[in-house]
Amino acid sequence: MAATGEAQPAKHQEVGHKSLLQSDALYQYILETSVYPREPESMKELREVTAKHPWNLMTTSADEGQFLNLLLKLINAKNTMEIGVYTGYSLLSTALALPEDGKILALDINRENYEIGLPIIEKAGVAHKIDFREGPALPLLDEMVNDVKLHGSFDFIFVDADKDNYLNYHKRLIDLIKIGGVIGYDNTLWNGSLVAPPDAPLRKYVRYYRDFVLELNKALAVDPRVEICQLPVGDGITLCRRIS
């Protein structure tokens, strides 16, 4: 406390972080040591613009953006999909990782927020990789699943939208991702609320989506069509590699 002259631990400024690490100071250390010094200028600019937006809590954090960018390069992804764009931080980290002829089918019900990030994505020279479609993802996925040519056509799919639909998405995405391809489900640790006692004072939206995230995690854990790994990056991301 200030009165005793004790130093306060550093409070991180990262809007997309949900405090899964043991301390804010440790998270700040990761950002300052390994993430910010390597963050491309365009991602920094988008992160700063997004931080001023009233819904900034929704953005992907800088460390998760770095993780996605490296993962996409490791798996040589070329044809990808993103469900849930917001202002485009994870989209930009994906676009920067893909080869010149790489593609991202980007789905969101809200174009306005995508347009906040679009000038920065254009300036970074990667907008040509993005096919943005405004509207709910589920009907479009249904259309795609009906086209057998699209089966097994995606190398990577990032799901970061309405958590109450993740299992509906999974049912469809499993046909669209190629064998050996990866689906990443974001926020699978849901603010740490998954292990909170029933009477814990959770924000309304956290409480509402919690049961859906619990159900998703249970279902993925026993799905024989995928190998999984749940990582405590950002708010938790579960990677699913399709094996059959």
Residues forming contacts to Ca ion in the complex (CB under 5 A) are: 160, 186-187
Is residue 193 a contact point for ligand SAM (CB under 6 A)?
no
Helix crossing, 41-51 with 62-74: angle to 10°?
A: 140
Stretch that binds ligand SAM, among 34-42, 81-89, 171-179, 211-219 (CB under 6 A): 81-89
Nearer Cβ to ligand SAM (28/94): 94
Q: How far is CA 224 from CA 170, 228, 241, in A?
A: 13, 10, 11
Q: Distance (Å, rounded) from C-alpha 144 to C-alpha 5?
A: 61
Is residue 188 a contact point for ligand SAM (CB under 6 A)?
no
Buried b (16+ CB within 10 A) or exposed e, 82-117: bbbbbbbbbbbbbbbbbeeebbbbbbbeeeebbebb
Is residue 144 a contact point for ligand SAM (CB under 6 A)?
no
For the CB of residue 198, give the shortest distance to ligand SAM in the complex, in Å: 26
Nearer Cβ to ligand SAM (79/94): 94
Is residue 60 a contact point for ligand SAM (CB under 6 A)?
yes
The SS3 assignment for 79 reads strand
Nearer Cβ to ligand SAM (109/243): 109
Count of chain residues binding ligand SAM (CB under 6 A): 20
For the CB of residue 84, give the shortest distance to ligand SAM in the complex, in Å: 3
Is residue 63 a contact point for ligand SAM (CB under 6 A)?
no
CB distance 130 to 101 below 8 Å: no
CB distance 74 to 149 below 8 Å: no
CB distance 18 to 192 below 8 Å: yes
Is residue 84 a contact point for ligand SAM (CB under 6 A)?
yes
Instruction: Identify the residue among 161, 173, 189, 220 touching ligand SAM (CB under 6 A).
Output: 161
